[in-house]
């Protein structure tokens, strides 16, 4: 009789732990972070000097006003560094 009571208590304990409270929770990815925490990442579309479309193989770059500017060649990079306002000013 004691074994039967013990088994009954164990079964009740196990089933009560697995029951739901009725609240449905969606996946954590449903919520969008606040706008002030989101950062826009934009990839430059072209070399600002010659307008050549950006390629992943490019290795020449510089940082201008906290932006990374990529170039198709060392020559375009040197031209930009000499007169950045000429190339950035035309784009804005």
Give the span between the Cα atoms of 78 and 84, in whole angstroms: 10
Quick one: what percent of the chain has pLDDT higher than 90?
Answer: 35
Answer with the residue of higher pLDDT: 2 or 55. Answer: 55
* Structural fold of domain 42-92: Ribosomal Protein L24e; Chain: T; (2.30.170)
| DSSP per residue, 30-41 | GSPPPGGG----
**CB contact set of 70 (below 8 Å; sequence gap of 6+):** 44, 47, 54, 58, 60, 61
Check whether 38 has a pLDDT greater than 90. no
Percent of the chain whose pLDDT exceeds 70:
65
What angle, 0 to 180 degrees and rounded to 10, lies between the N-to-C axes of helices 84-91 and 74-82? 90
Q: How far apart are CA 64 and CA 68, in angstroms?
A: 6
* Distance separating alpha carbons of residues 44 and 14, to the nearest angstrom: 58
Question: Model-level pTM?
Answer: 0.49
Q: What are the sequence ranges of the domains in the chain?
A: 42-92
CA 52 to chain centre: 26
Nearest-angstrom CA–CA distance, 37 and 40: 10
């Amino acid at each position: 009789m004691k074994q039967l009571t013990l088994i009954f208590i164990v079964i009740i304990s196990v089933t009560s732990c697995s029951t739901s409270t009725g609240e449905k929770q969606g996946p954590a990815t449903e919520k969008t972070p606040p706008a002030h925490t989101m950062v826009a990442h934009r990839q430059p579309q072209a070399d600002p000097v010659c307008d050549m479309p950006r390629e992943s193989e490019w290795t020449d770059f510089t940082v201008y006003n906290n932006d990374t500017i990529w170039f198709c060649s060392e020559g375009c990079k040197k031209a930009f560094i000499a007169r950045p306002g000429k190339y950035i000013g035309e784009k804005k």
